């Protein structure tokens, strides 16, 4: 039997949430994706596949990580999936100085 060395369980939960968000941002390709989404408001996988020269499966993989961290939003129209910035979440997380790079004002 091992003791769990956590004083504050809710704080631990908070850290886990932020860990997930920072992990999503901890990749150069995903930062590029974030940047492009920030610039273009709305982007589909095929657009990104062109501009970033990445295969579709890789993009879907990275987009899912950003989506699961609630940093971006997804809307499906027809066969297309459109991704956009989750401004509320991003602005909560990142400084205003990172505006234009990864967040809007």
Partner DNA sequence: TTAATTAATCAAAAAAAATTGATTTAAGGA
Partner DNA sequence: TCCTTAAATCAATTTTTTTTGATTAATTAA
Chain residues binding a copy of itself by CB under 8 A are 5, 11-12, 14-16, 18-19, 22-23, 25-28, 31-32, 35, 52-53, 91-98, 101-102
Q: Which token pair is 7?
A: 């004083």
**80 vs 34, 44, 46, 71, CA distance in Å?**
19, 7, 9, 20
CA pair distance 13, 76, nearest whole angstrom: 31
Under the binding rule (CB under 7 A), the answer on residue 65 touching DNA is yes
CA pair distance 9, 29, nearest whole angstrom: 33
Q: From the list DNA, a copy of itself, none, pick the one residue 105 interacts with, judged by a Cβ distance below 5 to 8 Å according to partner type.
A: none
The single-letter DSSP state of residue 52 is H
Under the binding rule (CB under 7 A), the answer on residue 64 touching DNA is yes
Q: Which distant-in-sequence residues (6+ apart) come within 8 Å of 44 by Cβ?
A: 80, 81, 82, 83
The residue (of 13 and 75) whose beta carbon lies closer to a copy of itself is 13
Distance of closest approach, residue 67 Cβ to a copy of itself, in angstroms? 17
Residues 66-105, one symbol each (x = binds DNA by CB under 7 A, - = not), give: --------x---xxxxx-----------------------
């Amino acid at each position: 039997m091992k003791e769990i060395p956590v004083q504050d369980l809710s704080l631990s939960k908070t850290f886990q949430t932020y860990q997930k968000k920072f992990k999503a941002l901890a990749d150069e390709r995903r930062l590029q994706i974030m940047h492009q989404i920030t610039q273009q408001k709305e982007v589909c996988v095929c657009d990104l596949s062109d501009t970033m020269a990445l295969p579709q499966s890789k993009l879907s993989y990275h987009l899912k990580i950003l989506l699961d961290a609630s940093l971006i939003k997804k809307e499906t129209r027809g066969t297309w999936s459109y991704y956009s910035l989750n401004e509320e979440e991003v602005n909560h997380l990142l400084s205003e100085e990172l505006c234009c790079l990864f967040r809007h004002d």
